[in-house]
Amino acid sequence: MKRALLCLAFIATALPAKTPAPDVRAWRHAHERQLLEDFSAFVAMPNVATTLADVDRNAAFLSGQLQARGFTTRLLRASEGTPATVYGERRTPGAKRTVLFYAHYDGQPIGQKGWTSKPFEPVVRAGDQIVDWRSASGPLNPDWRIYGRGTGDDKASVQAMLSALDALKARGIKPSVNIKIIWEGEEEQGSPHLAEIVRANRDLLKADLLIMGDGPMHQSGKQMINFGNRGITGFRMTVYGPNRPLHDGHYGSWVPSPSVMMARLIASMRDDDGKILIPGIYDDVAPLTAADRDALAALPPIEDDLRRQFAIGRTLTERLANGYLQPTFNVRAIHVGDEGPDAANAIATEATASFDIRLVPNQKPARVREQVERHLAGQGWFVVHATPDAATRLAHPKIVRVDWDEGSSEAVKTPLDTPAAGAVAQSIGRTVGYPVLKLPISGGSSGIADVVNALDVPMVGVSIANFDDNQHARNENLRLGNLWDGIEVYAGLLADMNW
């Protein structure tokens, strides 16, 4: 034990850390326009995973990009007809450590309304104004943003890696680690096949550290790393009124209202302050460690700024991240009846709503699903999992159909004092010139839990996208400066990590 410690100390001394950041920056200054051109072409490739041909086109493109940079590649699929995870590997002669880099190249569904420009025809804007950046002279303004689905979540991480490899090569800087890459193609669908793919390729993916490149940076604009992600399980509920729409004047005092039933059902599940009212849901929540508490307390206060930016008159907790180690119950959507010019004074036939629950370490999706259904039953609801027939509807006063989302994932969290995690923190600290912020767990989710568990590997999340990138929403964007900085961060992770 003592020898190992000495040995580590020796390596750290023998290879004095030298960040490649200045070299990478100089290279980037000379290549900004080409970089933006390349990224625009990448974003222009539609990437919603429900359209297989689209994600396949991205996967083929990325394989080619990796091969051109000396990687051996494979497309890993759970089965024909499912999106591919792009795998790439490049050994570094003499390197002792292997780092597995994860990112995803698929994007959230684009939504129907409110995109100022088309989601797959990227444009650059200065504020609200489109910029003709190809004709502009001088360096590109780092505060300009590129708009399109996937810009921030998560093609930015993929592009940063590709460009970091280019920069290092151009400046003759050798990576310090063996590089493995997995770029997933259905993260935004809940990673339904990632676990299967990883379990089937355990040896291929073996590594000493997993770097998860996803999610937004800290709202202060400072670099931040995280040590895990929350899990998620989602579902849709349908409650039933009459089997055809009825005039609410004639029937409203006699026929139950699906709108009211859905509203009251939701009210039974969460209060106005965000507390989940489903019995037992907090039972398995792990207590905070002292390191978690310290890291949370060290995060710069950005809450007043955010509140003003979002124009909200109250918040559910004082500090933004304090709720991340608790489960969160989100109502994604509620729909019943027509509004506007099509509004009718009618009782609708059904009300639908959809939900996701963000899970924390120790919570099992299956147990949470049980708790939800037990709660529904406890509220007097007869729970079904398919459309109830007339006999069923007649036999039960209150019927709710529950459809669980196909993908679900557990939370995952690496202890903050793990050595590999320390190496990431130090590398990024040297790249950016200040101590990196540490978020004990990201508020978002990913299928990464299954990867971490299958590979038994420490994990650190590295984010490069601006926090206000509208990820998962319309007008998703990436600040150009965040891409530039991201390239330096990735170059550091490739060439300046030792443990």
Q: Which structure tokens are listed for 374?
A: 């037990």
Q: Residue 233 — φ and ψ, nearest 5°?
A: -140, 135
* Sole window of 16-24, 176-184, 353-361, 366-374 interacting with a copy of itself (rule: CB under 8 A): 353-361
Q: Which structure tokens are listed for 40?
A: 């625009």
Q: What is the rounded radius of gyration, in angstroms, for the C-alpha atoms of the chain?
A: 24
* Sole window of 4-12, 131-139, 285-293, 330-338 interacting with a copy of itself (rule: CB under 8 A): 330-338
Asked whether position 232 contacts a copy of itself by CB under 8 A, the answer is: yes
**Of 320, 436, 437, 478, which one interacts with a copy of itself (CB under 8 A)?**
320
For residue 103, what are the β-bridge partners? 183
Pairing of strands 437-439, 224-226: parallel
For residue 129, what are the β-bridge partners? 126
Beta carbon of residue 293, minimum distance to a copy of itself (angstroms, whole number):
17
Beta carbon of residue 200, minimum distance to a copy of itself (angstroms, whole number):
27
* DSSP code at position 210: E
Asked whether position 246 contacts a copy of itself by CB under 8 A, the answer is: yes
Task: Tell me the per-residue interface mask from 125 to 164 with a copy of itself, x by CB under 8 A, - otherwise.
Answer: ----------------------------------------
CA separation, residue 414 to residues 86, 181, 296, 427 (Å): 25, 20, 15, 18
Nearer to a copy of itself, 79 or 253 (CB): 253
For 378, residues 6+ apart whose C-beta sits below 8 A from its C-beta are 279
Asked whether position 324 contacts a copy of itself by CB under 8 A, the answer is: yes
Q: Which structure tokens are listed for 309?
A: 């930016």
* Sole window of 33-41, 54-62, 132-140, 228-236 interacting with a copy of itself (rule: CB under 8 A): 228-236
Asked whether position 63 contacts a copy of itself by CB under 8 A, the answer is: no
Instruction: Considering only residues 389 through 448, tell me which ones interact with a copy of itself, judged by CB under 8 A.
Output: 390, 393-399, 442-445
How many angstroms separate the CA atoms of 65 and 61, rounded? 6
How many angstroms separate the CA atoms of 289 and 239, rounded? 41
Cβ proximity of 152 and 464 under 8 Å? no
Nearer to a copy of itself, 110 or 454 (CB): 110
Instruction: Considering only residues 332 through 351, tell me which ones interact with a copy of itself, judged by CB under 8 A.
Output: 332-339, 341-348, 351
Nearer to a copy of itself, 61 or 251 (CB): 251
The size of the interface with a copy of itself (CB under 8 A), counted in residues, is: 104
**Of 130, 330, 370, 417, which one interacts with a copy of itself (CB under 8 A)?**
330
* DSSP code at position 153: I
Asked whether position 310 contacts a copy of itself by CB under 8 A, the answer is: yes
Closest CA to 447 of 210, 97, 175, 277: 210
**Of 2, 314, 406, 456, which one interacts with a copy of itself (CB under 8 A)?**
314
